[in-house]
């Protein structure tokens, strides 16, 4: 994987870059991003997790692949259902873009 690697903290993963790109010296197209963090469930129930992406997207919860649409596509919404326990933190990883960036798939 070639190019500039940037690390930063995003409080929320909700971007619509269009032709602007993510900034910080990165190109406006042909880049990939990997977000990692934690998801804290407020309620014990079945939750619906939704992604809307233009190009590849993967969503992992506790190492389990929940959404995978790693294709070249226009704006597409994907969703999954997962049972979460209130007060429990779950590892979350979101991969988006043209190539895998985060190394292993776990």
pLDDT tens digits for range 74-106: 888 999 999 999 999 999 999 887 654 455 554
Q: How far apart are the C-alpha atoms of 57 and 52, rounded to whole Å?
A: 8
Structure-token pair, residue 10: 């995003």
**pLDDT range class, residue 15, cuts 50, 70, 90:** confident
Per-residue exposure over 89-102, b if at least 16 CB sit within 10 Å of its own CB, e if not:
ebebbbbbbeeeeb
Q: What angle do CA 57, 14, 82 make, to 5 degrees?
A: 60
């Amino acid at each position: 994987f070639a190019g500039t690697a940037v690390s930063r903290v995003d409080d929320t993963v909700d971007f619509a870059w269009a032709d602007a790109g993510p900034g910080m010296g990165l190109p406006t197209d042909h880049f990939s991003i990997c977000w990692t963090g934690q998801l804290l469930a407020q309620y014990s129930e079945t939750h619906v997790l939704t992604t809307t992406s233009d190009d590849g997207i993967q969503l992992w919860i506790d190492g389990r692949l929940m959404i995978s649409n790693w294709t070249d596509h226009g704006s597409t919404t994907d969703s999954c259902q997962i049972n979460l326990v209130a007060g429990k933190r779950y590892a979350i990883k979101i991969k988006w873009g043209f190539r895998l960036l985060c190394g292993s798939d776990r």
